[in-house]
Structure 1
Amino acid sequence: MTGLTPTLPKGDIITPMKKKVLQYDVIFEKENDGGYSVWVPDLPGCASQGDNLEKAINNAKEAIQLYLEAASSDFIEEGKLHKDRFIIPVQVATP
Structure 2
Amino acid sequence: MKDYHINIFYREEDEGYIADIPDLKYCSAFGDTIEEAVHEVLKAKAAWLETAKAEGKTIPTPKYRPAIYQIAS
Name the TM-score, length of structure 2 as normaliser: 0.72
Q: Which has the higher strand share?
A: 2
Per-residue CA distance 1:40-66 (angstroms, 9 max, x = gap):
111111111111011011111111111
Identity of aligned residues (%): 27
Q: Match of 2:29, SS?
A: strand
Which consecutive unaligned segments of at least 5 residues does structure 1 have? Answer: 1-20, 88-95
Q: Give the structure 2 partner of residue 23 of structure 1.
A: 3
- Following superposition, the deviation at residue 76 of structure 1 comes to 1.0
Cα distance in 1, alignment partners of residues 48 and 28 from structure 2: 9
Q: Give the structure 2 partner of residue 42 of structure 1.
A: 23
Aligned residue pair count? 66
Q: Which has the higher helix share?
A: 2
Which consecutive unaligned segments of at least 5 residues does structure 2 have? Answer: none
1:80 aligns with 2:63: yes
Q: Where in structure 2 are the equivalents of 1:2-21 lying within 5 Å? A: none
- RMSD over equivalenced CA pairs, Å: 2.4
Cα distance in 2, alignment partners of residues 61 and 85 from structure 1: 23
Name the TM-score, length of structure 1 as normaliser: 0.57
Instruction: Decide which structure has the larger Cα Rg and report it.
Output: 1
Report the residue type matching 1:67 in the other structure: W
